[in-house]
Amino acid sequence: MSKITGLIKFKKEQVMALALGVIVAYAITAISLIGTAIGITYTGLQETALPLIVAITCFVSVLVAGFDASRKAENNGWLWGMIAGAAYAVVLICIIIWVSGGFVPDLRKLMLVVLAVLGGGVGGAVGINFKK
């Protein structure tokens, strides 16, 4: 038995909470980015603000994903949150590959993954303490 499987007991409801957390995170991301696109189109919002807006949106989204993923956990909420953040990052990288036709590793993408995992861990640590 590996250390990860020793730390986490995979239950169907926990995996569903993790998936739901990532879905909610992407809904938040989509709404925020659509709002940003509308803001850039119809207001004085500059495109130079886009990288910061995307980073903040992704961080808030993975906080929510980690929070949601850890609410059904018995323990190790931080770890469930980090898994949710990593899942968010993997899906995002797949979307980047699909949209751009390839993947070129760079510092921005690495920082996005690190922020996603850490943000998910923070959200998970908070979420485990807000159980129903």
Banded pLDDT at 132 (limits 50, 70, 90): low
Residue 120 has pLDDT above 90, yes or no: yes
Residue-wise pLDDT for 39-96, tens only, equals 999 998 888 888 889 889 999 999 999 999 998 888 888 999 999 999 999 998 888 8
| Contact assessment for residue 125 and residue 77, using Cβ atoms and an 8 Å cutoff | yes
Between 87 and 106, name the one with better pLDDT. 87
Residue-wise pLDDT for 9-41, tens only, equals 667 888 888 999 999 999 999 999 999 999 999
Return d(Cα 25, Cα 23) in angstroms, integer: 5
Instruction: Check residue 1 and give its pLDDT.
Output: 44
For the chain, the structural domain boundaries read 9-130
Return d(Cα 33, Cα 36) in angstroms, integer: 5
Question: Hey, how many other C-beta atoms are within 10 angstroms of the C-beta on 50?
Answer: 14
Instruction: Check residue 74 and give its pLDDT.
Output: 82
The DSSP line for the chain is --HHHHH----HHHHHHHHHHHHHHHHHHHHHHHHHHHHHHHSS--GGGHHHHHHHHHHHHHHHHHHHHHTT-SS-HHHHHHHHHHHHHHHHHHHHHHHHSS----HHHHHHHHHHHHHHHHHHHHHGGG--
- Whether this model's pTM surpasses 0.85: no
Amino acid type, 108 = R
Instruction: Check residue 78 and give its pLDDT.
Output: 92
